[in-house]
Structure 1
Amino acid sequence: MTNFKKIGLTALAGSLIATTAMAGSLSVSGGAKMSYTSKGGTTDSSNTGNSFGMQKAMTFSGGGELDNGHSVSLTHVMTVEGAQSSSLLTYDMGDMGKVMYTDAAGGLGVAGIDDLMPTAVEEIWDGLGGTKNGYASSASSGFEYTNTSVDGVKVEIGYSPDGQAANDDGGVSGTGSVDSSSSVAIQYTGIDGANIFYGTGSQGVTSTTENNYDTMGVTYAMGAATVGVQLTDVDPASGNDEENTAFGISFAVNDDLSISYGESTVEVSGSVDQELKGFSVGYSMGGLTLQAHANEGDNVGNTANNYQHTELTVSFAF
């Protein structure tokens, strides 16, 4: 990422009694990255337009330390067109953990471990159309508490009020139409080379219904190779239980080249099995990084279909 310049931001809060000024600065960073993407399969073969893309995201970030030794950091991600895509405000209390408020900045709680299978580049479901089944999820906006102060243990607790995106300062979202989401995830890395993890939680679908998730798994690194297996059970509000069995393996050929392969199968009573598989490779040479992945999905969403997604990216550090 490249630091371009500093932007000073000043916020003023006033009343008839007193006026307080709060000032800070945010650094702006971005990346030089291009991609070539190919879509295929019987369901997605109509994507025949321009396959070249360029990263357009800019990251605004800043922070500082408070008098009590705690720290605060802020990140906004925006596109060059000016659209905000995610925001993250973090209050770091040191050994007592971190409290974060996110707006579309990633899954909360159990969604943080929805797929921990080893990969060189992307997950095996990346780029596949349709709605994949069998993976833990949560709302993307809300509060999260994390703590890694206990040796070998990481705890993530997520809560999303009414399942809605964050508002701008002083705004309200009106009547909540989705039930709140809450979940917890625990990872244990106290055994050399291993990561043992478990998560459980629920995500609101309507004001009175929710999806429930349980996931567990383990990854283990042996020299240059890392292997993993993960089991996930989804109890959706709209249908039968989904049982997902996934595995993956990655291998660091050398300091610059890594490869990986993974598969997953989701079984739903009375439906065809969803089967995903993918291969990834990543290579770095100085300031140049090349990455590629090829994913394929049969019966995505446990309905008859076939999706194929191949992507090649090149990025430059400067």
Structure 2
Amino acid sequence: MNNLKKIGLTALAGCLAVTSVHASELTASGSASIGFGGADKGTSANGFYMNDEVTFSGSGELDNGWNVTLSMQVDNNENVGTSTFDNRSVTINMGDAGTFAFGGHGLDSVVGGVDDVMPTAYGETWDIISNTVDNGGVTSTASTLFGAIGSAGSNNMMRYDNTTAVEGLKISASYVPSGTGEVESSVDYGLEYTGYEGLTLGYAMGENNAAGGTSNTDNDTMYVKYAYGPVTVGYQKSEIDATTATDTDEWTAYGVTYAVSDSLSVGYAESTYDAGSSTTDQENSNLSVSYTQGGMTLAAGFAEEKNRGGLTTAVNDVKGYDISLAFAF
């Protein structure tokens, strides 16, 4: 398997080495938002915050018809290390042969990219409270929040996607190499079918071998969404399969959105995290609304969380909200 990977990468590098870029383009896009959030058990006196980002993309066509795109995001909110650069990647579009992406930072693994795809007007069930300024009231006496179930992910990882091999079917694979923070490499695979109008069916499976040895897990998720007129409904179920029962977790979610008009949407979603290490499930819900006019979006999510981290003490029951006014340019 390792030899096949080396041969494939060598062939790709050789192909790029004998071609040249003869058409190029440089573009920039970005967004800025002003937000306000908080929670009933939070301690922050000022819930206002600002998010902003600018993404620069440079692309060029090779002599063989392939297209290469470099994407770099300036995002001071992330501030990775001492740099203001956040997500950055190189993507090679090989036409009918699919796309290959190398992510220096911020590239999704296959399972991680679909860890929660339930319909929502704003935010997932579990992230509204955790994304507020005071972090949803997490203190020294509160438990750590359970999110959705993903898989391994790191800097300098690779991903392949193909949407043309079979009509209506997207085929994906990702590879996280071993290195800093990753004891062993991890591989993900996924399929997503959209060949029937309004219907989306997906399944992804992968590994999380970051810790190595007996701590390695197999993770998977399946989801279905159906859009009919202004209504979209969805259901998703994910699992972590570990060597011990205490590390084997399950996550279940459903969501529904209703497009009141071309500009206004409302949504409701619930999720349950069943951790093998706890006898009590963490339960999350989110009522959301969004209004879009041109490049402006005003959105809000109102969330409730019970038994954060699988604990039943009162501090682990939290209610919170997040309101955002965002502009895209």
TM-score (norm 2): 0.78
In 2, Cα distance between the equivalents of 1:237 and 1:294?
37
- Structure 1 residue 295 corresponds to structure 2 residue 306: no
- Mark the CA change 1:317 to 1:135 in structure 2 (over 3 Å): closer, same or farther: closer
- Structure 1 residue 154 corresponds to structure 2 residue 155: no
Alignment of 1:25-64 (within 5 A): 26-41=26-41, 45-46=42-43, 48-64=44-60
Structure with greater proportional strand content: 1
Q: Retained in 2: the 8 A contact 1:134–1:242?
A: no
User: AA paired with 1:136?
Assistant: G
- Mark the CA change 1:158 to 1:303 in structure 2 (over 3 Å): closer, same or farther: farther
Structure with greater proportional helix content: 2
User: Which range is displaced more, 67-76 or 96-105?
Assistant: 96-105
Alignment of 1:173-192 (within 5 A): 178-192=183-197
User: AA paired with 2:310?
Assistant: N
Give the 3-state SS of the residue equivalent to 2:112 in structure 1: helix
Q: Retained in 1: the 8 A contact 2:34–2:50?
A: yes
Give the 3-state SS of the residue equivalent to 2:178 in structure 1: helix
Q: 1:155 Cα deviation (Å)?
A: 1.3
In 1, Cα distance between the equivalents of 2:306 and 2:248?
19
Q: 1:236 Cα deviation (Å)?
A: 4.2
Once the two structures are superposed, what CA deviation does each residue of 1:31-63 show, in whole Å capped at 9, x if it has no partner?
Answer: 23211111334xxx22x1322122232212111
Counterpart residue number, 2:266:
259
- Structure 1 residue 222 corresponds to structure 2 residue 228: yes
Q: Alignment partner for residue 74 of structure 1, among 70, 91, 94?
A: 70
Give the 3-state SS of the residue equivalent to 1:148 in structure 2: strand
Once the two structures are superposed, what CA deviation does each residue of 1:215-244 show, in whole Å capped at 9, x if it has no partner?
Answer: 112111111101011111112467342122
User: Which range is displaced more, 191-200 or 121-130?
Assistant: 121-130
Runs of 4+ in structure 1 displaced over 6 angstroms?
A: 22-25
Give the 3-state SS of the residue equivalent to 2:68 in structure 1: strand
In 1, Cα distance between the equivalents of 2:148 and 2:253?
10
Give the 3-state SS of the residue equivalent to 2:123 in structure 1: coil
Alignment of 1:10-159 (within 5 A): 26-41=26-41, 45-46=42-43, 48-80=44-76, 82-129=83-130, 130-132=144-146, 135-141=149-155, 142-149=157-164, 150-159=166-175
Give the 3-state SS of the residue equivalent to 2:127 in structure 1: coil
Counterpart residue number, 1:315:
326
Gaps of 5+ in 1: 1-21, 165-175
Give the 3-state SS of the residue equivalent to 1:301 in structure 2: helix
User: What is the identity percentage for the equivalent residue pairs of Structure 1 and Structure 2?
Assistant: 35
- Mark the CA change 1:271 to 1:105 in structure 2 (over 3 Å): closer, same or farther: same
Q: What is the number of residues matched between the two proteins? A: 282
- Mark the CA change 1:187 to 1:25 in structure 2 (over 3 Å): closer, same or farther: closer
Q: Retained in 1: the 8 A contact 2:146–2:273?
A: no
